[in-house]
Amino acid sequence: MVRARWLCVLMLLLAAGCAMEPLPERWPRDATMFSPTRMRIHPIFTQVKDWTGDGKPDGIEALIEFQDRFDDPAKASGSAMFELFEYRPYHPDPRGERVTGPWTGSLVTVDEQRARWNRTLSTYSFRLPFNNVRENRNYVLAAAFDRSADQGRASRFFDRIVIEASGLKEPTGGPEDDDDADDAPATRPVAP
């Protein structure tokens, strides 16, 4: 009987302790201070990817990051649009003809935020499927992010990067790069 009472008291305490309280609302001052002020496409980790493991690239994995006014990582809600262009070297605007796109992605709901957020890199990940993407070709990826859906006023960010080819053979300057290797002068010491 005494055990049953203690068990009931313990159950009531556990039930009362597990009650979910709503999260406190963010103060308007906090929202302006810690909201994103700029966006960039991550230049290192945005690249052509093979998601299926068949040895052929399936598209581009784009990672975008936001920073607040303190240059710290920030989260954002809204919608993203990506476009892929041919790369024109030595032009002020390196975007050539549009290759494909646009792709759109949403970051409006809590589930979308959780599905795309990368905690390690503090970025949002977007898989942009494109079967004809080639690893030996340079592209320009442009992104636009629209936050106006959650604020009632226009707030947009833009960025673009050059995705450099990873399949091109880099010249090393060694004899294997020269078809006339026998005629090339030796630049390495030769053992007697």
User: Tens digit of pLDDT for each residue in 63-73?
Assistant: 999 998 888 99
Please give the average per-residue pLDDT across 36-47, as a whole number: 91
Mean pLDDT score across all residues of the chain? 79
Q: Which residue has the tokens 């581009």?
A: 60
* Cα 79 to Cα 137: distance, rounded to the nearest angstrom: 28
pTM above 0.85, yes or no: no
Name the token pair of 26.
Answer: 């963010």
C-alpha angle 109-24-40 in degrees, rounded to nearest 5? 45
